[in-house]
Amino acid sequence: MNRIIKTTASVLRIYPYSRSSNIVDWLLRDGRRMTTVIKGACRPKSAFLGQYDLFYTCELLYYSRENDGLHIARECWPLKARDGFRSNWRATACAGYLGDLICRAIFRSTPHAALFMQYNQCLDALAKRTQAAQILAWMELQVLNHVGLRPHFSRCASCGAAPQPGMAHGAFSVAAGGVICRNCSTQGGAALKMLPGLSRMLHSWQQAPEVRSAVNTICSKQQILAFQKILGRFIEYHLDVGGYGRRVALAAVGAADTKES
């Protein structure tokens, strides 16, 4: 038997279902991912016109199906429209990638308590055009936390050794799952070079409950390129996601950085 459920949800992705209807992937306020069909959404007199769009946060009323398949949206009302995305293609590319990342990484109907708040924080920050590279990296780290693939930044991922006083881990091994000490880095295997202080910075972002910790961090161009490469390789290796959407987002961030400099 179908139930009518009312909740708060943010739009992750929208794609066509038919000539007049859309399918929408939502992130619910309890951190579950859920998919609905919005029937007649594209008709000129549809009650859904202007009520949902990419990066909206909405009050959603839907018919829940017992088999947890494709639910049917009944009504929705926008709570946050985030109009800043309508005039900033760079922010839109970044937000689009994050929505796609969550859809690909998070299993449907598995709750992740803090994910809704984290995703909405990122949307709010991106809509204000601030520190997009740091926002993307922080959210990627949070998604990895939620799926149980937390990279190791404080201890050697191979032998577990902590860095010696005055000496940081100098390499990152994608296969090992984090930074590795100098002894392990000499034992063969591909590893990415870590810039001084980068592992500490990423570890602090990984533990930070709010995106403002990353937004308030001033990063050099070299640091940005380094953590983009490290996280990209890690996500591709362990999740097999990212691809084209991530490249577009990083190109948008790079274009913004070049313009500002």
Residue 99 maps to which CATH number? 1.20.1440.120
- Whether residues 106 and 209 share a domain: the answer is yes
- Whether residues 103 and 55 share a domain: the answer is no
What's the pLDDT score for residue 257? 44
What's the pLDDT score for residue 194? 87
pLDDT digits (tens, 9 = 90+) for 177-201: 999 887 787 665 678 988 888 999 9
Cα–chain center distance at 212: 15
- Whether residues 158 and 223 share a domain: the answer is yes
**SS3 at position 143:** helix
Report the alpha-carbon distance of residue 42 to residue 22 in Å, rounded.
Answer: 8
- Whether residues 176 and 235 share a domain: the answer is yes
Tell me which of 42, 62, 81 is where a domain ends.
81
- CATH number for the domain harbouring residue 49: 2.40.50.140
Would you say 38 and 74 are in contact if contact means Cβ atoms under 8 Å apart? no
**SS3 at position 31:** coil
- Whether residues 119 and 224 share a domain: the answer is yes
Tell me which of 32, 47, 81 is where a domain ends.
81
**SS3 at position 146:** helix
What's the pLDDT score for residue 260? 38
How far is the CA of 79 from the CAs of 30, 49, 57, 177, in angstroms?
17, 15, 6, 39
State the sign of the Cα–Cα–Cα–Cα dihedral 141, 145, 147, 148. Answer: positive
Return all residues near 170 (Cβ < 8 A) that are at least 6 apart: 182, 185, 193, 194
What's the pLDDT score for residue 254? 80
Q: Taking Cα atoms as reference points, which of 32, 59, 57 lies closest to residue 115?
A: 32
- Whether residues 73 and 100 share a domain: the answer is no
Q: Could you tell me the strand order of the sheet in which 192-193 lies?
A: 178-180, 171-173, 192-193
> Which stretches of the chain are DSSP H helices?
89-105, 115-127, 132-146, 182-185, 198-207, 212-215, 221-238, 243-260
pLDDT digits (tens, 9 = 90+) for 103-122: 999 988 889 989 999 999 99
pLDDT < 50 regions, the chain: 166, 257-261
- Whether residues 134 and 12 share a domain: the answer is no
- Whether residues 54 and 181 share a domain: the answer is no
Return all residues near 85 (Cβ < 8 A) that are at least 6 apart: 54, 55, 91, 92, 95, 126, 127
Tell me which of 81, 108, 132 is where a domain ends.
81
- Whether residues 65 and 178 share a domain: the answer is no
Q: How many CB atoms lie within 10 A of CB 37?
A: 17
- Whether residues 111 and 18 share a domain: the answer is no
Domain that holds residue 44: 3-81
Number of domains in the chain: 2
What's the pLDDT score for residue 41? 92
- Whether residues 127 and 182 share a domain: the answer is yes
Report the alpha-carbon distance of residue 65 to residue 63 in Å, rounded.
Answer: 6
